[in-house]
Amino acid sequence: MGIATVNPATGETLRTYDAHGHDEVERRIAAAHETFRQYRTTSFAERARLMRRAADLLDEDAEDIARTMTTEMGKPITAARAEAAKCAKAMRWYADHAESLLADEHPAEADVHDSGAETARVHYRPLGPILAVMPWNFPLWQVVRFAAPALMAGNTGLLKHASNVPRTALYLGDLFRRAGFPEGCFQTLLIGSGAVEAVLRDRRIAAATLTGSEPAGRSVAAIAGDEVKKTVLELGGSDPYIVMPSADLPRAVKTAVTARVQNNGQSCIAAKRFIVHTDVYDDFAERFTAAMNALTVGDPLDESTDVGPLATEQGRTDLEELVDDAVNKGATVLCGGARPENRPRGWFYQPTVLTGITPQMRIHQEEAFGPVATVYPVSDIEEAVAVANDSPFGLSSNVWTRSDEDIAFFVRDLEAGGVFVNGMTASHPALPFGGVKRSGYGRELSGHGIREFCNATTVWQRA
C-alpha cells in the first residue's frame, strides 16, 4: 500500500511512500518499549536539553518544513511559517516548565493527619509508549503539542499521522532523532487507518491520543476502552462567534474573517457560526460579507494569498454538499458558494457566507471544514446562548461585548472548553486546550496536558 503526498493546489502526486509492514511496525513498537525503560529515568535537565535542541533545529529548518506543509495540505506559506515558530515556542515552554509542572504535590499536614502517614505526597510518573493519531490540518503543531509534554514527562511516542502528510510525519521522527533523543523515543509509523487497531491493542502501548474526526475518535475510544487504556480525544468543533450590541464592531468583523478562514477554514477551533444581535446584525453582515468576498484565493506558496485550497478533493466535495443542502432548503448565499472559476485545478472553494439557516439544514449541526460561515440573527443574550449551545460540539467559543454582565453570563452558560472574549480562539502552551460534548475529552497543553499521560502516584509513608 502506498502513502502519497498530493499537492492540493494542483492535484499532482508528488511522491508515494511504501507503508510500514508488520515487521517494521513491530520493530518500532519494541524500540519504543525498550527505550522507555531507560528514558523514564533521565533527569528533567537532560530532557530539557534535548527538547531545546529540537526547537533550535526546527528554527533552522523552518522555511523548508513550512514549504513541505504547504505543498502537502495547502495552508498559506505565511501560516505555515507561523506554525513552525509556534512549535518551537511550545518545545521551549515545556523544556522550561515540565519539572515544576510535575513536581511532587504535598497535601497540607492537617488534611492527611488521620491517614496514619507521617508524610504523604503525590508523585507523577510517565506511563510508557503513547500512540498519537494525528490529523493533517496542523501537521506540525498537532504533533508537537502532544510530543513536547509527553517526552518531557518521560514517555516515548509513536506517531500515526494522516496519510496525506507523510513528508511532515517523517520529518518529525527525524527531528527528535537529530536532536539527540534516544533511538526509539519518538518514531513515525507509516500505516493506514486500518492498521491502528492492532497497534493500540498491543500490550506495550500504554495510552493513546487522537485529534481528528468524530468517527475516528469513536473508533479509537472503543478500542482503547476494550483494552482499558487511557485516551485523550480532541475532535470536531463548530464554534460560535457571538457579537453583542456593545461590541467594537470593526474589530469584531476583522477578527471574524481571520477566525473563519484561518488554515483555509480547516480548523476545529475556527469560528463557524456567527451569532449576531439584531441591533448590529445588518451592519455586521454587510461588513463581514464584503471582507470575505475581498479575500484572495490562490496559490498557497504566494505570499499574497489569503485562502489556499482545501487539503483533499473529498474535503471539498463534503463542503459543497453541506452548502448545497442548505441552499436547497432555503439558505441565502451572501457571497461565494461555488468553486472559483479562475482555479480549474486543485481543490479550491470560494469564501462563503450563508444566512437564513434553519435546524433542518445539515450545516446547522455538522462541522463545515472549509471557508464557509453561517450567520444567525438573535434578539437577546439568552437566544444567543441557546443558538450557540444548539450543537453536538463544544470545543471553544468567541464572544464580543464590553459588558461585564454579558461576559459573566457567557462564561457560566456556554457549553465549550474555552470562552475567548473580544478575540479569536487560539491555543497556547500555558493554557489547557480541549472540549466537551462530541468535541472530545481530556486536555492538551499546560500542566493539565502534561499530566494526562502520567500516573499520579500516592506515596504514603511512616517510619
Catalytic residues: 234, 268
Q: How far apart, in whole angstroms, are the C-alpha atoms of residue 449 and residue 143?
A: 13
First to last CA, the chain: 61
Cα 23 from Cα 25, distance rounded (Å): 5
Q: Among 264, 263, 243, which residue's Cα sits nearest to residue 253? A: 243
Q: Which residues touch 319 (CB under 8 Å, ≥6 apart)?
A: 310, 349, 368, 369, 370, 372
Torsion of CA 398, 401, 407, 413, to 10 degrees: -50
Q: At residue 243, what are phi and psi to the nearest 5 degrees?
A: -120, 120
Instruction: Choose among 374, 364, 370, 365: nearest CA to 275.
Output: 374
Sheet holding 271-277, edge to edge: 332-335, 352-355, 372-378, 271-277, 239-243, 398-400, 420-421
What is the spatial distance between Cα 224 and Cα 244, in angstroms, rounded to a whole number?
Answer: 43
Task: With beta carbons less than 8 A apart as the criterion, state whether 90 and 165 touch.
Answer: no
Rounded Cα–Cα distance for residues 458 and 120 (Å): 7
Distance between CA atoms of 147 and 181, rounded to whole angstroms?
12
Residue from 426, 438, 420, 307 nearest 370 by CA = 307
Cβ neighbors of 449 (< 8 A, separation 6 or more) are: 145, 149, 432, 433, 443
